[in-house]
C-alpha cells in the first residue's frame, strides 16, 4: 500500500490517537485537507512500512542505493550525510560561503572544517563553479596525520560541493569524484531537483556522488520543506536520520513527496518540465536588450547594460510588481520551477523588453 492510499484509508476511521485534532478540528480552516490526512506514526496499519516501500519505489526511479524522504529540508540531508560518513576529528572540505547547514553539519559531527574559496565570475558578480584544481590546493595542504582518517587524499574524509549554485552554475561532479575517489563526495543539489527528469537540463549528481541532497520545494513543485537524500554508496544513513529527525513525522508531507516524484517521473511531468524550458528559450530569443547567463536555463540570470543588478531589480519590482530571487551589484536572478506558467514568464519578458 502506498502512503497516499494509506492516508485515504485512514481518514475513514474513528481514531483515539495522536494527533489530537482528530482530523476534524481545523484551527486553520484553509488547511483542512492537510489536517484530514495528518495521522499518527502509532497507527496499526504501520505507515512506517508504507514509507519504506515508497522510498524503495522512488530509489528505483532514481537508480540509487537508497533514497530517503526528508521533511526538514535539505539541511537534514546535509547533516545526516556528514554524520554517516565521518568520525569525530575527521577533516571535511567545505566552501567558505556555503549554506550554513554545511558548517553546522561538520560541527555536529565533531569534525574539523577545511575551507576552500571560489573565484568570482566578474562579468556576472557570482561565484564560479567548483574545479578539482581548486579543491586540490586545500586537499594537499600540510596537515597532521590522524588514526581515524583512512583517506589517501591528505586527511580529508569528505568533500561538500554546492551544484548547481543559487545562480545556476553547475560543477563537473564526475570529474571531482574521479579526482578524489577516496573521499566521500556530498553534493548539495538543492536547486537541481528537476535535473534527473530532463536531458535538456544539466546532469544530476544523483548517480555520481556518494550523497546527493535535493530540495523538492525549490524547483520541483514540492511543499515546504520537502526534500530527498540520495545515497549511492554502501553506507546507511538511517541511523543519522533517526538521530536528527522527529519521531512524529508529518505523513501528509511524506505522502506529498511520493506524489511529487510520481508526477515528475510521469509522461505528463516530464512534458511539463520540457515545456517550461521551451517557453524560456522562446521568450529569451525575443529579448535582445538583456544578457543571459548561467548553466541552468530555469535560473533566469540577467543583466542590462547601463543598470546595476540592484537597479534592475528595483525597476522590475517598482514598475512591474515582479520580485526576483537574488541580486548582486551586476546581475539579477529570477527562479523558475515546474509551477512557473507561460503567463508568468510572458509578464516577465514583456517587462524586460520595456526597460
* pLDDT value at 42 more than 90: no
Q: Distance from CA of residue 233 to its chain's centroid?
A: 19
CA distance 98 to 171: 14
Q: Point out which residues pair with 335 in neighbouring strands.
A: 299
* pLDDT value at 18 more than 90: no
In 3D space, the residue among 197, 203, 243, 232 whose CA is nearest the CA of residue 216 turns out to be 197
Reduce the DSSP state of residue 277 to 3 states and report it. Answer: helix
The per-residue pLDDT for range 220-273, each reduced to its tens digit, is: 988 889 999 999 999 999 999 999 998 888 888 888 899 999 999 999 999 999
Strands laid side by side in the 156-162 sheet: 66-70, 227-231, 211-215, 184-188, 156-162, 91-95, 112-116
Looking at every residue in the chain, the average pLDDT score rounds to 87
pLDDT of residue 25: 42
Q: Count Cβ atoms below 10 Å from residue 41 Cβ, excluding itself.
A: 16
Q: Count Cβ atoms below 10 Å from residue 54 Cβ, excluding itself.
A: 25
Residue extents of the structural domains in the chain: 72-244, 268-354
59 close to 206: Cβ distance less than 8 angstroms: no
The per-residue pLDDT for range 87-143, each reduced to its tens digit, is: 999 999 999 999 999 999 999 999 999 999 999 999 999 999 999 999 998 876 544
Q: Could you give the percent of the chain with pLDDT greater than 70?
A: 83
Backbone angles phi, psi at 202, to 5 degrees: -55, 160
pLDDT of residue 13: 54
Q: Under CATH, what is the fold of the domain 268-354?
A: 3.90.1150
* pLDDT value at 33 more than 80: no
* pLDDT value at 147 more than 60: no
pLDDT of residue 14: 41
Q: Averaged over 211-228, what is the pLDDT?
A: 93
Q: Provide the grid cell at 6.
A: 494509506
Q: How many residues does the chain have?
A: 355
* pLDDT value at 314 more than 60: yes
- Reported as type and span, the H/E element at residue 127 is strand 126-127
- The confidence band for 11, taking pLDDT boundaries of 50, 70 and 90, is low
Q: Averaged over 31-39, what is the pLDDT?
A: 60
Local structure of residue 204 (DSSP, 8 states): P
The per-residue pLDDT for range 265-295, each reduced to its tens digit, is: 999 999 999 999 999 999 999 999 999 999 9
pLDDT of residue 145: 39
- The confidence band for 31, taking pLDDT boundaries of 50, 70 and 90, is low
CA distance 350 to 151: 54
Q: Averaged over 315-329, what is the pLDDT?
A: 94
pLDDT of residue 252: 83
* pLDDT value at 311 more than 80: yes
Q: Beta strand 120-121 with 66-70: parallel, antiparallel or unpaired?
A: unpaired
Q: Under CATH, what is the fold of the domain 72-244?
A: 3.40.640
* pLDDT value at 153 more than 50: no
The per-residue pLDDT for range 174-204, each reduced to its tens digit, is: 999 999 999 999 999 999 999 999 999 999 9
Q: Which of 39-53, 67-81, 175-189, 216-230 has the lowest mean pLDDT?
A: 39-53
* pLDDT value at 47 more than 70: no
CA distance 184 to 43: 38
Q: Could you give the percent of the chain with pLDDT greater than 90?
A: 74
pTM of the model: 0.87
Q: Averaged over 138-158, what is the pLDDT?
A: 56
Reduce the DSSP state of residue 42 to 3 states and report it. Answer: coil
CA distance 347 to 355: 13
Q: Beta strand 227-231 with 66-70: parallel, antiparallel or unpaired?
A: antiparallel
pLDDT of residue 175: 97
pLDDT of residue 249: 82
Amino acid at each position: 500500500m502506498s502512503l497516499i492510499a494509506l492516508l485515504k484509508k485512514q481518514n475513514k476511521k474513528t481514531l483515539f490517537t495522536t494527533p489530537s485534532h482528530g482530523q476534524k478540528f481545523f484551527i486553520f480552516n484553509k488547511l483542512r485537507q492537510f489536517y484530514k490526512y495528518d495521522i499518527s506514526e502509532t497507527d496499526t496499519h504501520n505507515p512506517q512500512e508504507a514509507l519504506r516501500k515508497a522510498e524503495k519505489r522512488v530509489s528505483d526511479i532514481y537508480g540509487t542505493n537508497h533514497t530517503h524522504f526528508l521533511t526538514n529540508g535539505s539541511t537534514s540531508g546535509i547533516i545526516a550525510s556528514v554524520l554517516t560518513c565521518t568520525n569525530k576529528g575527521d577533516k571535511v572540505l567545505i566552501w567558505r560561503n556555503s549554506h550554513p547547514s554545511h558548517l553546522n553539519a561538520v560541527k555536529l559531527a565533531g569534525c574539523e572544517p577545511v575551507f576552500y574559496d571560489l573565484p568570482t565570475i566578474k562579468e556576472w558578480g557570482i561565484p564560479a563553479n567548483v574545479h578539482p584544481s581548486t579543491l586540490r590546493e586545500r586537499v594537499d595542504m600540510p596537515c597532521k596525520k590522524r588514526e581515524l582518517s583512512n583517506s589517501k587524499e591528505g586527511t580529508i574524509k569528505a568533500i561538500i560541493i554546492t551544484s548547481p549554485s543559487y545562480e545556476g552554475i553547475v560543477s563537473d561532479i564526475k570529474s571531482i569524484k574521479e579526482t578524489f575517489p577516496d573521499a566521500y563526495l556530498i553534493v548539495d543539489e538543492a536547486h537541481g531537483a528537476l535535473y534527473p527528469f530532463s536531458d535538456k537540463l544539466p546532469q544530476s549528481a544523483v548517480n555520481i556522488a556518494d550523497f546527493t541532497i535535493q530540495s523538492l520545494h525549490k524547483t520541483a513543485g514540492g511543499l515546504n520543506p520537502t526534500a530527498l537524500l540520495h545515497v549511492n554508496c554502501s553506507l546507511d544513513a538511517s541511523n543519522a536520520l533517526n538521530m536528527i529527525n522527529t519521531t512524529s513525522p508529518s505523513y501528509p508531507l511524506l505522502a506529498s513527496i511520493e506524489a511529487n516524484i510520481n508526477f515528475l517521473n510521469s509522461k505528463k511531468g516530464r512534458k511539463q518540465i520540457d515545456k517550461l524550458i521551451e517557453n524560456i528559450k522562446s521568450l529569451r530569443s525575443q529579448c535582445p536588450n538583456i544578457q543571459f547567463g548561467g548553466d541552468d536555463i530555469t535560473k533566469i540570470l540577467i543583466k542590462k547594460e547601463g543598470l546595476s543588478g540592484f537597479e534592475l531589480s528595483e525597476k522590475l519590482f517598482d514598475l512591474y510588481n515582479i520580485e526576483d530571487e537574488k541580486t548582486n551589484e551586476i546581475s539579477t536572478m529570477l527562479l523558475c520551477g515546474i509551477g512557473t506558467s507561460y503567463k508568468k514568464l510572458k509578464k516577465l519578458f514583456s517587462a524586460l523588453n520595456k526597460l
